[in-house]
Amino acid sequence: MTYLIALPMLILLLGILLFNNLISKKNKVEEAYSGIDVMLKKRTDLIPRLVNTVKGAMQHERETLTELTQLREKLLNKETSPNDRFTMENQLGKLLGNIQLRAEAYPELKANQNFALLQNSLNEMEEQLSAARRAYNAAVNSFNNGMEMFPSNIVAKLMGYTNRTLFTIEPAEAKAPEVSF
């Protein structure tokens, strides 16, 4: 008779533990995504300053600067899906890198102390963003593992959870840059 009461209680307790574990993992993913969002906001806040600093010197790069500004506006839209934000964030990183590389051709920019400070700020921001991406991917991995492993996968299906997407970089960005002397 005690087994008839203990077994359902044990199953219920296991279900509650699995449920709470998945909730905790989901919250970690959301926290890590928020960390990326904060870093992106800081980086997008630097863009107008960068554009204002370089637009006079880099007249030939007006198209790149316009694209950079438009992409910034899209990123600030809170209704953009995480996957779209990641894609746009990759594009933004590529554009910022292009501007920094192209700035080498403009001696007046290289001598501009404000531009040098902005470059340092952007480099520091990229490092922080990279750390936030790693934290996000670790949280997503943990969440996805919980979603796929038995018996928590049963609870995850009942809750309607789906796997989250890892933050990845474009294949072109993964290639090492060519350096020639």
156 lies in a domain?
Answer: yes
In a domain, 13, yes or no: no
Would you say residue 148 lies in a domain? yes
Residue 8 pLDDT exceeds 60? yes
Is 177 among the domain residues?
A: no
Let me know if residue 49 belongs to a domain: yes
Query: Would residue 178 count as lying in a domain?
Result: no
d(CA 23, CA 36): 20
Say what the pTM is.
Answer: 0.73
**Residue 53 within a domain:** yes
- Is the pLDDT at 181 greater than 50? The verdict is no
Is residue 14 domain-resident?
no
| Structural domain containing residue 140 | 22-169
pLDDT of the residue at 114: 78
What is the share, in percent, of the chain residues with pLDDT greater than 90?
Answer: 32
CA of 102: how far to CAs of 57, 60, 79, 110, 178, in Å?
A: 11, 10, 33, 11, 15
If one counts the domains in the chain, the total is 1
